[in-house]
Amino acid sequence: MTSSEIAPQPLTIEQHNVAFVAEPGVVLRGWLFRPAGAESPLPTITMAHGYAGTAHHGLFRFARAFAQAGFVVLLHDHRNFGGSDAPDPCDIDPWQQIADWRSAISFLESRPEVDATRIGLWGTSYAGGHAIVLGATERRLKAVVAQVPTISGYEQGLRRVAPDAVSSLEAAFIEDDRRRFRGEPGQRISVVGDGHDQPAAYRSQDAIDFYLQDLPANSWRNEVTLRSGRAARMYEPGAWVARVSPTPLMLVVAMTDTITLTGLALAAYERALQPKKLVMVQGGHFDPYLSQFYTASEAAVAWFHEHLRRSPEDQP
C-alpha cells in the first residue's frame, strides 16, 4: 500500500486553536490540524518544539505537511513558552515537558476525530530527546520520529563549553540556587547572542538566525532561565533509546550538526533496537527546518504512513 493510496495529496486542511489542562492551574495551548472533509477517526501525530522555542520556530510547516498527508496533528507550545501558561516564564524542565506531553496524548484520546489506537509522536532538537524518552515509556504511541535529537546533555556540554569556562558556569548555577532559595528571582540569560558580555545558550550564527527569525509580535522573547541550562546538562535521553523498541523509531540526523552533535545521534541509533530507521540530511542542526525540509518531512510522513496505518485484521 502506497502513501498516495492512504491519503491523496494535497488535501485541504482545517486549523483550530485548542487548549488542554496539563495539571490543575496550568493550561497548554496549541493548534489542531485535520484534513477537511476526511472521515473520522484518523491516525494522529502529536508534536512540539525544541529548546526555548515556540511552535512558530519552523513547526507549522511540518504540521501542515503532516495534515496534508492525511493525519490529524496536534502542535502545542510547552509550558512557559508561546501561548501556553507560564507559571515560571522561559523556564525549561525536560521532565515536566515530558509529563505535559502525556497530557497532550490524553487530550487527543478524548477527541472524536482521533483514532486513539494510531497516535504517533514527532519531536525535534530538545523535544527530539523527549521523543526518545516518550517512545521508551509511553506505549500509547505507535510510532516515533526524533529529528536532530538531544542525546546527551553531558556529552554536548563537553564539546560546547570550553574547559576553562566550566568552573565559572558551575559557580553561576550554585549562586542561582541560593537566590531562588532566598525567594529572589532566578537568573536569566539570552537564548542566542553574539557578544561575550551577555551570557547566552547559543552563539553560532545559524542559531541566531533561526531563533531571531521573523515571528508574530509578542510570541517569543530571547530569554531562558539559567537553571534550564543546568537541567539540559543533566538530561540524557540517549540512555532510553534501546528501550523504545518495539515501538518503531526513526532518527533524522543532520550530517554536520554542531548543536546536538551528529556523532552522538549516530551512536544512539546503533544502540536502538528494531524496528528503526536512520535518515541523514545535508547540513547542520537547523537545515531540516530550512533547506532540507522536504527531505525531513517526507521521510517522517512515510514512516507514519507505514506504522500508523490499520493492520489487515482491523480493516472493515
For the chain, give every domain's residue range: 3-158+236-314
The CA angle 146-150-154, to the nearest 5 degrees, is: 155
Per-residue confidence (pLDDT) for residue 10, from 0 to 100: 64
Per-residue confidence (pLDDT) for residue 314, from 0 to 100: 52
Q: What is the C-alpha to C-alpha distance for residues 267 and 12, in angstroms, rounded to an integer?
A: 40
Residuewise pLDDT in 10s, the chain (316 residues): 444 444 444 679 999 999 999 999 999 999 999 999 999 899 999 999 999 999 999 999 999 999 999 999 999 999 999 999 999 999 999 999 999 999 999 999 999 999 999 999 999 999 999 999 999 999 999 999 999 999 999 999 998 888 999 999 999 999 999 999 999 999 999 999 987 778 999 999 999 999 999 999 999 999 999 999 999 999 999 999 999 999 999 999 999 999 999 999 999 999 999 999 999 999 999 999 999 999 999 999 999 999 998 754 454 4
Q: What is the C-alpha to C-alpha distance for residues 59 and 275, in angstroms, rounded to an integer?
A: 26
CB neighbourhood size of 158 (10 A): 13
Cell 535529537 belongs to 149
- 156: which 3 cell numbers? 554536548
Amino acid residing at 44: T
Specify whether the CB–CB gap between 133 and 126 falls below 8 A.
no
Per-residue confidence (pLDDT) for residue 110, from 0 to 100: 98
Q: How, if at all, do strands 72-76 and 13-23 pair?
A: unpaired
- Strand 72-76's sheet: what is its strand order? 13-23, 26-35, 72-76, 42-48, 114-124, 141-147, 249-254, 276-281
Specify whether the CB–CB gap between 205 and 211 falls below 8 A.
no
Residue 247's alpha-carbon distances to 107, 141, 305, in angstroms, are 21, 7, 14
Per-residue confidence (pLDDT) for residue 315, from 0 to 100: 47
CB neighbourhood size of 118 (10 A): 23
Per-residue confidence (pLDDT) for residue 316, from 0 to 100: 44
Query: What is the architecture, at CATH level 2, of domain 3-158+236-314?
Result: 3-Layer(aba) Sandwich (3.40)
